[in-house]
Every structure is written in C-alpha cells, then in structure tokens.
Structure 1
C-alpha cells in the first residue's frame, strides 16, 4: 500500500497525532513536530511563523500539494495492481521499500551523517516498521483482489477507527456526533464490501484488517512523535520494511519478463515516495484542519485510475458507501479541528 505511508498517514510521515495532526513547522527534509522538545531548538531557525502558516496563499499551496500527493499515491496503488498481474505482491513490496529506504538515506546522509540513525527508542522504531510492513503486505494482497477505488475508500476508514482508539486506548473524550460519524463510516464500508457486491467479502474483511492495523500504526506514531524526529522515523520504517520484505522475497521472486514490468515496479516506488514528500510539504504549508479534507480526493483519483486501467466502475451501492465514508471522515475531521481551535 503506497498511499498508506500516506495514510491517511494522517501523520503522513510524522507531524501528526493520527487524524488531528500537530502542525508541521519545518522544511520537508528536516520535518519535526512543534511539540518535540528534542528537535525544537535545533530547528528553531527553520520554523514557520504562525502568521505565515495561516496565510491564505500558503494554504492554497498546501491544498494543491495535498491533491497532487493523492494523485501520485493513487497512481502508485493502481500501478501496483497492474504490475501484480505478472509479479507477486511481495516483489512489489520489496521494490516499494527499496526505493523508500535508499531514497530517504540518500537525502538524510549529507545533512546528518551518522546522526540520521539516532533514536530515543530502537524498540519502538522496530515495532512501527513491523506494523507498517505488515499493513503494506496485506494491502497489496487486497489490491490484487479488489478494485482500487473500493480498496481506497475502505482504508479511508482509518481516521474513524483512530477515533475509537482515542476513546478506549488513549482515554480521550469523543463527542456523540463523532461516534455517529464512526458508525456512518463503518456502514459505508460495509456497503462497499457487502456480500453479493463487486468485492469478494473475504478480501473486504482483509481490507478492514488493514484499517485496524494501520490505525494501530498511527497510534504508535502519535506516541513516538513526542520524542522522535519524523525524518528518522521515516528512515527506520523504510529500512525495516526493506529488511523484512527481503527475507520474504526469496520464496516469492518472479523475474519480470519485460523492461515494461521493471519500469512499472520502479514507478510504484517513485510515485509513492513522491506522494509522501508532497504530503510533508503540504502539511508544512497549511494547518491539518485545512489540508486533511482534501486527502479524500484519493477516492476520486483511485476511481478514475480503476476505470482507466481496468475498465471498472463501482456499482451504485458501492458509490453510496464510498461517499458515506468520505462524508463521515470529513465531518469527523472538521469536528475535531473545531474542538482543537
């Protein structure tokens, strides 16, 4: 799953608390969260002032970048599904993490040297990486067996599941209206993966497992951003994922038969990495409450890609369910944003 390291990496590679997001205040190459005391002084000179952060022009740039990121991530997912017609999901996973791991290291090494590996808790970094690679592998198997649009809409439940985790795990207060949005989103997802629809219900339930796994990943990320540099978190996530997928790929390797397939595999990683980068920049330009609703444009892009590459159009009930998931997610995000304002 490429968009997932997007998330909604509602923390989208750090800078957030799941869905609400703490506002990013640094450049994308040295992203760090405003509430991280371990990085505040080091990055103070790079911070964006509150006035600049809420400037209408910067907000417009942030929104445009978020939409571009979702287009790139949706393209990566659709390309993954296309190339999995001839190679295994594990191979796609391996290439995906290879690009992320090497690319992140090449960017950070000149800036930080060995310090790029510095972390407060290697145990948490490994746990986060294992959660992400597990989520990604499940997501690729889902993408192989279900339409791109329906998969994307189902996984967009993640912010709503995080609401439930916030209440029962983090003991946060959740309003009745936000609970209503959670129930509405779940109903929407069930319409998408309903028995007798265009999606195999078994695969649909696997997609819901992806949602839960990714929600736990986001909760772990939220905990870690209090002390960890998001750029370092991204580095560890890439290398843990690459290490695990390397162990798995030996028994799943199928040599691509054409340069076209090799190119598609490379495009999967490049598009996903570009999407993540654009999201970091987007959240550094505008508040999460402004940017987050536009992440749901991923559903529209995925629907288009599904039609373009696979000649698939969701049926009426699936469209209804997808719309319900998007509506409930946007409303829930707005409610939380208003409460935090």
Structure 2
C-alpha cells in the first residue's frame, strides 16, 4: 500500500508539473532546462538524506546515460511542445501510448517474444491512440493541433525508447545514478535550444518554471521510492491515475472540456496497458514457479 500511495503521489505531482509548464507558456527547450535544473537540488538532497549520494552516483556505463538522457530529453521537449497546441487531457492520453511502444521496442531491440496477448493489447492500444488523434489527423482542429498531436506521439515513442535503454542498464546501474544523470543530461542538452527562441520570463513565469522543476524532483523521488515497496507490475496500472488529474486540472484551470473521442481512445489505451501489465505479471509468476521447481529438483 505504501508503494501504491507513493506511485499515485508521483503521478499527481508529475501532472501538476506538466500543468505548470503549460501555464508558463515558454519555449519547450527552456521548459526542459527549468524542469531538469531545478530538480537536481531536490534529487541531490534526497540522495544525501538516504546516504546514497556517493555510492549511488557511481557508474560503469557513462555513455549509456548520455544515450538514454538524449532520448529522454527529446521526449520531454516534444511533450512540452505539444502542450502549446493540445488540451492537457489529450496530451496525457496520447502519452499513455508509451507502455504500448515499450512492448514493440522490446521485441525489436531486446529480442523479447511478441506473444498473442501482447499483440492484441498493442493493437487495441494503437486503435485507441488513433481514435484520440483522429480529429487532429483529419485536420478538424487546425494545423497547430495536428502538429501538437504528431509531436506528442513522437514524445511517447522516444519516452518508450528511453525506457528500453533504462531496462538495458538495470543490471549494472543504480536507480539513483539513472535518475540523477538524466536530469544533468537534460539540463545541459536543453541549452542547445537557446538560439531558437528562449524568452526572458516574467516573475509569474519564473515562479511557475521553478515550481515545475521542484515538482519534477519530488515526483521523481516518489516514483523511485515506490519501487522499494511494491513490484513494478503491481504499480504500473496506477500510472493511469494521471488521466483523472489531467481531466480535473484541464477543466478547472484551463477550461478544457474533454471530447468523446478523447475519452473513448484514452479508455482503450488504458485497458491495453493494464492488459499488458497483467500479462507480464502472470508470466513473472510462472517463471518464479518454474525456478522454484527446478531448485527443488536439484
């Protein structure tokens, strides 16, 4: 229950962070810098508090952090760019495609088996994404909305790719190192976008951006800590609580009324994601039982 509580808190904080970025209305690269740079003190203090600041940041694969950080930074930047053109709930719904794309990339890159249940779930999820995006792809929402939908979907794909890199590093790199070096990489890479239109923020914008950075750090701590108390397969379905927060914040803060295609598509994406999680959990239990049987037979 503690792990589930921390996961739900992390998702709520991340949704608030996204809303702060949307409200600040600054260029995406500038938003990435503030989100990453001001998360570093929060993450650093947390690592110091749990006495993991020195050993936790040791790495044997520094270039893997750079590759993962680059993919993650691009995903973050494109996601923030989409906020300027689409309602918050719609961006959230499209970003829910990430777990589905992880399954696809895991099969293509890591060679994981693409079983029937996964295939059906992925197909269902992709239909859901298409339903959410269809009003934009049919040019019903204008060119800006179409651009927002495309960059948000690209953001989901790059986020999935970043998670594949994280999975490949799991055996040698500590979670603290992955979290910390991602923020460092994102903060540094975001500076490349300065010539492309950074603005001098007003006092209100600065407060929103710094708040987003702190929220990002707190959310990352809650997310990381949740895995200390519960299995990833148990926690994964609760990531979809972000849709609830996005709908509430979108309606009351940005006056964004959800459409029926968005709700229907989001529902299909969420159902497919949960199906994938439950299938992975069942396979994990089966493998554990097989290992116990093999150990008992020796």
TM-score (structure 1 length as normaliser) = 0.77
Q: CA deviation at 1:142?
A: 0.8
Q: Which consecutive residues of structure 1, in runs of 5 or more, have no partner in the other structure?
A: 1-59
Cα distance change of structure 1 residues 280 and 334 upon mapping to structure 2, 3 Å threshold: same
Determine the C-alpha separation between the residues in 2 that align with 1:196 and 1:254.
Answer: 30
Q: Alpha-carbon deviation of 1:222?
A: 0.5
Partners of 1:250 and 1:115 in 2: CA distance: 37
Displacement of 1:185 in angstroms is 0.6
Task: Name 1:142's counterpart in structure 2.
Answer: 82
Residue equivalent to 1:255: 200
Structure 1 residue aligned with 2:277: 333
Conserved in 2, the CA contact under 8 Å of 1:101 and 1:242?
no
- Once the two structures are superposed, the pairs formed by residues 210-229 of structure 1 within 5 Å of their partners are 210-229=155-174
Structure 2 equivalent of residue 105 of structure 1: 44
Alignment match, 2:14: 73
Structure 2 SS opposite 1:254: coil
Give distance in 2, aligned partners of 1:251 and 1:319.
35
Is 1:265 matched with 2:265?
A: no
Q: Kindly indicate whether the alpha-carbon contact (under 8 Å) linking 1:198 and 1:315 is maintained by their aligned counterparts in 2.
A: no
Report how many aligned residue pairs link the two structures. Answer: 279
Superposition RMSD in Å: 1.9
Q: CA deviation at 1:90?
A: 2.0
Offset of residue 319 of structure 1: 0.8
User: Once the 2 structures are TM-superposed, how far is the Cα of residue 215 of structure 1 from its aligned partner?
Assistant: 1.1
**How many Å apart are 1:116 and its aligned residue?**
5.2
CA distance in 2, matches of 1:114, 1:291: 28
The answer as to 2:174 corresponding to 1:202 is no
Q: Distance in 1 between matches of 2:47 and 2:13?
A: 22
Conserved in 2, the CA contact under 8 Å of 1:109 and 1:116?
no
Q: TM-score, normalised by structure 2?
A: 0.87
Give the Å deviation of 1:178.
1.5
Residues 147-186 of structure 1, C-alpha deviations (whole Å, 9 max, x = no match): 1111111111111111112222222223212211101111
**Stretches of 4+ aligned residues off by more than 6 angstroms:** none
| Aligned mate of 1:193, from 133, 137, 141 | 133
Q: CA deviation at 1:277?
A: 1.1
Give, in whole Å, the separation in 2 of the partners of 1:109 and 1:272.
18
Structure holding more helix per residue: 2
The 3-state SS of whatever aligns with 2:218 is: helix
What residue is the counterpart of 1:239 in the other structure?
184
Distance apart, 1:307 and its partner CA: 0.6
Aligned mates of 1:117, 1:167 — CA distance in 2: 30
In structure 2, C-alpha distance between the alignment counterparts of 1:285 and 1:250, rounded to whole Å = 44
> Residue in 1 aligned with 2:248?
304
The residue aligned with 2:220 is 276
Write the distance in 1 (CA, Å) between the matches of 2:140 and 2:226: 36
CA distance in 1, matches of 2:37, 2:105: 31
Moved more, 103-112 or 166-175: 103-112
